[in-house]
A = this chain, B = another copy of it.
């Protein structure tokens, strides 16, 4: 059997037993997925998923990057080339390559997610390898043709209470509209992601801002009209369930400019004459403007900083974005968040959730900041740290200073739909292991641990995201 029922629990029998008991009370709780990147079209159209390779390999940048790191060309994994040259299109061939190299994933979270999906979503036992590649492929392919493996059916079966996708501010939200008008009751909501109309360096910025104007009937050539358009569009997103906005900036920099300064920068940004430094200043200031809007409309503000996207520009030219070449960078939060926090951070009506890709900031910067500012909460371990050791270190590095209640439960943040239950399961197991260790070393009482386990698995996410 690929999955140990006691996986990720402490090794010591006493702590393990308590972890098991804690886990038993949270393992079947509904899944709150307040931040992620699944495609709303799946749930709107409810078409069958394509073949196993296109479900598990080609779209998963965790899988792609590991295979590529050992010299496997991305083309042979089915990744399309920008220049249109052909990539492998035979799902079975891609799958065999994946299976043959599955040992590369030993002790990685990717393997745990995939193994969990095999077992829990597709009812497969055993271990994927060159020998079992075809059997696994055939079984999964067979499932994918059945109705019960369509997106909505899987969603229901997975016990998802609510799932948020993320859409650009200028996305028409047609798939969300389809869902809303359908008879399906699954709660799939959107989140407001305005990078394309907030970042002067975003491709097509001024055109995007013009589109935002058209969509909202505001004059986005003026600073006031631009702000009104955001307010208007946020309200529109709220009609599709949005409770949060999301911001993926290179750094955590915030600014709090005077309105005339901001207006002048906006005007330069529209003309495309911002320097790199001015563009950064403008992005930083817009976070503060978004926080101000949040005070009015209640959207939770999420900041995802610190990724250097497309580290290899030559690979980007060949294959485009999201193929595994985004690399974390050293990130500062203390000075960077200061302008926003000084302006609105002590207002308890506001919730700002900050994520990190630089673990060194957890004990030094983020826990101390979240442990004093009422508006600031710590997002769960993100991306490269969404892993058993990463999650454990997150708790060990934040709890003593920020406690549990300045954190917000778990986010799966994934495009890999099948991995959602396995990611939440992993987080629940690690949290239960952490709590059992605290009880075992006399740092938490037994009954407190059960309460906290429930909060970490369910309550905190629901509360923080106002769901």
Contact = CB atoms under 8 A, between A and B. Distances in A.
A405 B387 CA distance: 18
A38 B342 CA distance: 30
Interface string A295-320: 00000000000001001111100000
The interface centre, meaning the residue of A11, A342, A397 with most chain B CB atoms within 10 A of its CB, is A11
Given A106-B444, A401-B108, A444-B106, A357 B346 contact: no
Contacts of A325: 372
A113 to B, nearest CB: 12
Interface in A418-442: 437-438, 440-442
Contacts of A404: 106-107
Contacts of A12: 11-12
Interface in A10-25: 10-12, 14-15
A348 B69 CA distance: 9
A334 interface: yes
A342 B371 contact: no
Nearest to A439: B4
A357 B334 CA distance: 13
Interface in A331-386: 332, 334-335, 338, 341-342, 345-346, 348, 357-360, 363-365, 367-374, 376, 384-385
How many of these chains are in the complex? 3
A328 B361 CA distance: 10
A85 interface: no
A155 interface: no
A104 interface: yes
Given A11-B12, A107-B444, A359-B363, A348 B400 contact: no
Interface string A87-124: 00000000000000001111111001000000000000
Interface in A62-81: 65-66, 68-71
Contact of A405 (B104, B341, B406, B441): B104
A341 B68 CA distance: 14
Given A7-B441, A384-B363, A368 B328 contact: yes
A27 B448 CA distance: 28
Contacts of A357: 364
What is the interface residue range for chain A against chain B? Answer: 35 or more
B400 A387 contact: yes
A270 interface: no
Given A107-B399, A368-B328, A373 B406 contact: no
B69 A11 contact: no
Contacts of A313: 342
B368 A327 contact: yes
A342 B369 contact: no
Interface stretch (A43-51, A189-197, A207-215, A388-396): A388-396
A443 interface: yes
A217 interface: no
A366 B372 CA distance: 28
B403 A107 contact: yes
Q: Which of A7, A69, A400, A444 has the most B CB atoms < 10 Å from its CB?
A: A69
A148 to B, nearest CB: 29
Contact of A70 (B109, B112, B359, B405): B405
A438 B345 contact: no
Contacts of A71: 348, 374
B400 A388 contact: yes
A-B complex: 10 closest residue pairs judged by Cβ atoms: A4-B442, A7-B442, A71-B348, A65-B372, A387-B400, A11-B440, A71-B374, A11-B12, A328-B364, A360-B360
8 contacts: A69-B372, A69-B403, A71-B348, A308-B335, A329-B364, A330-B332, A330-B364, A389-B396
Interface of A: 3-12, 14-15, 65-66, 68-71, 103-109, 112, 127, 308, 311-315, 324-325, 327-330, 332, 334-335, 338, 341-342, 345-346, 348, 357-360, 363-365, 367-374, 376, 384-385, 387-390, 396-397, 399-406, 437-438, 440-445, 448, 451-452
Given A106-B452, A312-B342, A327-B369, 5 more contacts: A11-B15, A69-B373, A107-B404, A327-B372, A360-B364
